[in-house]
Chains A and B, each alone.
Chain A
Amino acid sequence: MTTRSTVHPAVSAIGTGVSSGSSSSRERLEAEVVALFDELRDPLLRYLVSFGLVTADGEELLQEVFLALFQHLNQGKSKKNLRGWLFRVAHNLALKHRSKTQRDFAKRTQSQAAEFAREPGPNPEDQVQRSQAQQRLQAVVHALPEQDRLCLFLRAEGLRYREIAGILDISLGAVSISLARSLGRIARTAER
């Protein structure tokens, strides 16, 4: 058992910010990963949640994603388009997680569109703010085929068509058709 007098490097590094004696390149790498976490945590978490995961599971997966990023960079691998790399890893981990919890996920996705259609919002003030049109739109989005929905969410997070195609392993043309189909449905919803 570690005694208090034997301070583990992690203790000083995290608890006090004092260097644990690790190399400056190691510290720079950690700082780089944390900076990317600061920048992309919300978009990645939104993507994971929109995938059908509960927020807590999404947070856990995100930890794995950024630890994988650290390993990736630590091994001297490419830094090109790290945002696309992170989304691709998050996507793959989400698929893996879903396959483990298939039953819960299926139940959730079946009821999700209906929930969005009927849920009034978390409190009366939100009920007023959240228009019926937006509720209908959210219901339409959640009823989209999964690939269309994921395309839409990835694009909403600022990814280009080529990045989306790489993450979902589909062609550029398929991305374009998918997005146009989804936006067409949204446009028809708005007309009603």
Chain B
Amino acid sequence: MQHQDKHISDPELLQDIENELSAHAQKQVRAHLDLCWQCRTRRQELETAIADFVRAHQQEFEAILPPATAPRAMLKARLSQVPRIERAASSDRRFTWAILAMAGGLAAFILYVGLAPRTSRQAIVLSAPDARLTPGATLLENRQAVCAQANIKNKAVPVALQREVFAEYGVRGESHGYEVDYLVTPALGGAEDIHNLWPHSYSATVWNAKVKDELEDRLREMVCNGSLDLAEAQREIASNWIGAYKKYFHTNEPLQ
């Protein structure tokens, strides 16, 4: 400890500011500060530097931190799967669920699904899936893993699974007008699972499967160039893919 005749070092002054000194050392420092204007000034400069840094730090990061909603939902999904992951690991599989439908998305689905009459079931599968049947499911893969794959687009869905999807949605006899589409495309980590599949019309609506393909390409490009978080892309396409299309293409109508 330097005091009285010698000035106090910066680390000691800082420890005094931070209450990191022992009681004895603090007493000595305070005694010196009572007498030494130079050390008091230096102490004040360090306090000012802390305040300057805190302001700059806050300003630097406040603009770049994305909302916590999507990562929080993803964490909850992953936590609920921990035992399942352990079981999957034993069979060398990393498959898991992630439920991606959010409150906002549900509202959109109500618009497309919930208010439609049950008797016209096929009419409600024109543009968007039933969130209760198809909330979306993903593999537990990170951005690097997803982007390392060649652009796999929508891989073929097994015929038996397609039949199951059509049956669940009540599409019978006219299934030729539909593609069993992935809600979250495999190109964004979507899983080949019934919770991630729905019958999407090729042509009966402007918001058809071809338009959704454009969105999937755009989102994958953004995820892989780092301008969009993978979890956010999965959430947006699962909760309201039409809204996502409008957002990322800056249009209210399909560009096709």
Known: A33-B79, A180-B13. A42 touches B65 (CB 8 A): yes
* Total interface residues in chain A, CB < 8 Å: 61
Q: Mark B210-232, 1 if CB is under 8 A from A, else 0.
A: 00000000000001001011110
User: When the two chains form the complex, which single residue of B49, B133, B230 contacts A186, counting CB atoms closer than 8 Å?
Assistant: B49
Known: A10-B99, A67-B82. A152 touches B194 (CB 8 A): no
Q: Are A138 and B60 in contact (CB under 8 A)?
A: yes
Q: Does chain B have a CB within 8 A of A179?
A: yes
User: When the two chains form the complex, which single residue of B53, B57, B96, B226 contacts A56, counting CB atoms closer than 8 Å?
Assistant: B226
Q: Does chain A have a CB within 8 A of B38?
A: no
| Separation of A4 and B167 alpha carbons in the complex (Å) | 11
Q: What are the residues of chain B within 8 A of A49 when measuring CB–CB?
A: 61, 64-65
Look across to chain B and name the residue whose beta carbon is closest to the beta carbon of A55.
B64
| Separation of A99 and B76 alpha carbons in the complex (Å) | 29
Q: What are the residues of chain A within 8 A of B226 when measuring CB–CB?
A: 54, 56
Q: Are A2 and B64 in contact (CB under 8 A)?
A: no
* Total interface residues in chain B, CB < 8 Å: 60
Q: Are B80 and A176 in contact (CB under 8 A)?
A: no
Q: Are B80 and A66 in contact (CB under 8 A)?
A: no
| Separation of A46 and B230 alpha carbons in the complex (Å) | 19
Known: A56-B229, A122-B63. A141 touches B56 (CB 8 A): yes
User: Nearest-CB distance from B69 to chain A (Å)?
Assistant: 11
Q: Does chain B have a CB within 8 A of A88?
A: no
Q: Which B79-135 residues have C-beta < 8 A from chain A?
A: 79-82, 84, 96-97, 99, 101, 133, 135
Q: Are A71 and B15 in contact (CB under 8 A)?
A: no
Q: Does chain A have a CB within 8 A of B168?
A: yes
Q: Does chain A have a CB within 8 A of B177?
A: no
Q: Are A60 and B142 in contact (CB under 8 A)?
A: yes
Q: Does chain A have a CB within 8 A of B188?
A: no
Q: Does chain B have a CB within 8 A of A1?
A: yes
Known: A4-B195, A34-B72, A190-B49. A134 touches B143 (CB 8 A): no
Q: Does chain A have a CB within 8 A of B193?
A: yes
Q: Does chain B have a CB within 8 A of A37?
A: yes
Q: What are the residues of chain A within 8 A of B63 when measuring CB–CB?
A: 122, 126
Q: What are the residues of chain A within 8 A of B13 when measuring CB–CB?
A: 180
| Separation of A15 and B100 alpha carbons in the complex (Å) | 8
User: Nearest-CB distance from B81 to chain A (Å)?
Assistant: 5
| Separation of A85 and B76 alpha carbons in the complex (Å) | 20
Look across to chain A and name the residue whose beta carbon is closest to the beta carbon of B84.
A10
| Separation of A78 and B44 alpha carbons in the complex (Å) | 40
Q: Does chain A have a CB within 8 A of B78?
A: yes
Q: Are B50 and A183 in contact (CB under 8 A)?
A: yes
Q: What are the residues of chain B within 8 A of A20 when measuring CB–CB?
A: 80
Q: Does chain A have a CB within 8 A of B66?
A: yes
| Separation of A131 and B133 alpha carbons in the complex (Å) | 52
Q: Does chain A have a CB within 8 A of B31?
A: no
Q: Are B229 and A59 in contact (CB under 8 A)?
A: yes
Q: Does chain B have a CB within 8 A of A62?
A: yes
Known: A56-B230, A137-B56. A14 touches B80 (CB 8 A): yes
Q: Does chain B have a CB within 8 A of A187?
A: yes
Q: Does chain B have a CB within 8 A of A166?
A: no
Look across to chain A and name the residue whose beta carbon is closest to the beta carbon of B81.
A10
Q: Which A40-89 residues have C-beta < 8 A from chain B?
A: 41-42, 45-46, 49-50, 54-57, 59-60, 62-63, 66-67, 70-71, 74
In addition to A38-B72, A56-B223, 18 A-B residue pairs with Cβ atoms within 8 Å of each other are: A8-B84, A10-B84, A11-B135, A14-B76, A14-B80, A15-B99, A54-B226, A60-B230, A138-B60, A141-B57, A156-B57, A176-B14, A176-B15, A177-B11, A180-B13, A183-B14, A183-B46, A184-B10
13 CB contacts below 8 A, A to B, read: A1-B164, A2-B194, A9-B80, A14-B77, A14-B97, A34-B76, A41-B71, A63-B78, A122-B63, A133-B52, A183-B50, A186-B52, A187-B49
